[in-house]
Structure 1
Amino acid sequence: MKFMAKSEKTWSLKEIDQERESTKGTAFLAFKQLKEGFDEGRDFYYLCASEDGAEIDKLRAAGRIYETTVNAILLTEAGYSAVTNYLDS
């Protein structure tokens, strides 16, 4: 994988939705609102199906992303905090 330290804790949008008992897509909508201020590699990782398909398959098999997810977004601690703070406001 080109970018992610395996030891780094990340959260998927599905995991945030489930943790907060939110409807599917709630965390994604928050991410979209905040994305302009985020830095890829610091706040989130974008996994592209054509390049990161094997990793996306692993996330799907582990139940970390939605079955219908094509390209995945994983939030770092900073991104997770920003999304959850946004949802709490």
Structure 2
Amino acid sequence: MAKSEKTWSLREIDQARGDSKGTAFLAFKQLKDSFDEGRDYYYLSASQDAREIESLRKAGRIYETTVNAILLTEGGYSAILDYLDG
């Protein structure tokens, strides 16, 4: 993952918009087939990325119950917002 690249978690999107937990995730599921992993989002696996996931959890960027994390890039973030605002 490009460490210097700005990313947004699904929790951050829910909170910024005042949406209930899971709103951004449902939008992501609807758009996932049109997204490219590595360009629109990064998938963090509990087995391979446990340290980074725990860091995100401690920073409050993901929900406490998150197992595998999704971080959206600028393109993915914009697409989610467009979908939710559409």
User: Paired residue for 1:88?
Assistant: 85
Matched, 1:49 2:46: yes
Cα separation, 2, equivalents of 1:27 and 1:6: 22
Report matched runs for 1:1-80 at 5 Å. Answer: 4-80=1-77
Cα separation, 1, equivalents of 2:38 and 2:15: 24
Cα separation, 2, equivalents of 1:67 and 1:5: 24
The count of corresponding residues between Structure 1 and Structure 2 is 86
Cα separation, 2, equivalents of 1:69 and 1:76: 19
TM-score by length of 2: 0.99
**CA-based RMSD:** 0.3
**Identity over aligned pairs, percent:** 77
Alpha-carbon deviations, 1:44-89, whole Å to 9, x = none? 0000000000000000000000000000000000000000000000
Unaligned segments of structure 1, at least 5 residues: none
TM-score by length of 1: 0.96
1:6 is displaced (CA, Å) by 1.1
